[in-house]
Amino acid sequence: MLAVISWALQKQVKNAWFWAIIGGLLVGVVSALPFFIPVLGFLLIVTIAVLLKQRVWQVPIFAMLLTTFIGTLLFHFISVITLTVSGVPMEIIDVLFLITLPSLLLNLLLAAPIYFLFGDLAKWLHPGELTA
């Protein structure tokens, strides 16, 4: 998720939607969720990232942290709703304190390094035009 968010927030990148679908499918393969749930979650997260990139373009790291916070909570909410509807017994307090909050903390701690790593990758893959 952090890779998709940071890629979507790079100003040179135009294909964030493609990578959201690919990332969602990869998460769908390794998780117990139906395939469309991670794809839907990643597309919603990229939508938030693109909207924030257009609005908060002067402080991209803030957009990364905000998108990570909202995206983690949104993805976990969608996952818990899907698993509850599927009949998986879960205690909401346990899900919140044992899964959502630790993953939110880890995502927020890793957001800045991942953003700068993907920023360098985007500059390497999409170099600016050379002026003569």
Write the pLDDT tens digit of every residue in 61-111.
Answer: 899 999 999 999 999 999 999 999 999 889 999 999 999 999 999 999 999
Evaluate whether 14 touches 84 at the Cβ level (below 8 Å). Answer: no
* 88 vs 107: CA distance, rounded Å: 25
Confidence category of residue 130, pLDDT binned at 50, 70, 90:
very low
Residue 129 in this model has a pLDDT that exceeds 70 = no
Quick: pLDDT tens for 5-16: 999 998 888 888
Q: What average pLDDT does range 45-62 have in this prediction? A: 86
* 94 vs 87: CA distance, rounded Å: 17
Quick: pLDDT tens for 22-48: 999 999 999 888 889 999 999 999 999
Query: Which of 19, 11, 25 lies closest to 115 in space, CA to CA?
Result: 11
Strand ranges in the chain using DSSP code E only, listed in sequence order:
none
* 5 vs 20: CA distance, rounded Å: 9
pTM of the model: 0.88
